[in-house]
Amino acid sequence: MQEDDPDNSKLPVGMIQDVKTRWNSTVLMLERACRLRKYIKAWVENNPKERTCYPSLDEWKQINYVIVALNPFLNFTLLVSSSKSVTIDKAWQIYNTLLGHIETLRGSLERK
């Protein structure tokens, strides 16, 4: 899931670091890495000692898969955490939606 090119923005954009205790930081970190992919590549090319840190094409595909897999969880987490009136009915709807998402992902992996 690649976002708009940061060249369109006047604000500087940096990397986001993963935080062990906050799972959603992983998806945010990976989304930002995709957004800054060409800049990361340029940095790595200028720092030869770091070349092994740059993801391969297969690893970029895996990163994109993780983003697609985790994004609905992030969205629902933000939705629920910003609401003061989440009911069991809403929780059940969210559960069913996420379960359907997981089943879709599982089906796409089985076809590959």
Please give the backbone phi and psi of residue 11, each rounded to the nearest 5 degrees, phi first. Answer: -85, 140
- Enumerate the domain spans of the chain: 6-111
pLDDT digits (tens, 9 = 90+) for 41-78: 999 999 989 889 899 999 999 999 999 999 999 999 88
Q: Are 70 and 26 spatial neighbours (Cβ–Cβ below 8 Å)?
A: yes
With left for phi above 0 and alpha for psi between -120 and 50, is residue 89 left, alpha or beta?
Answer: alpha
Report the SS3 class of residue 16.
coil
pLDDT digits (tens, 9 = 90+) for 68-112: 999 999 999 888 888 888 788 888 999 999 999 999 999 888 876
Report the SS3 class of residue 11.
coil
Q: Letter for the amino acid at 13?
A: V
What pLDDT, on a 0 to 100 scale, did the predictor assign at position 61? 94
Query: What is the model's pTM?
Result: 0.74
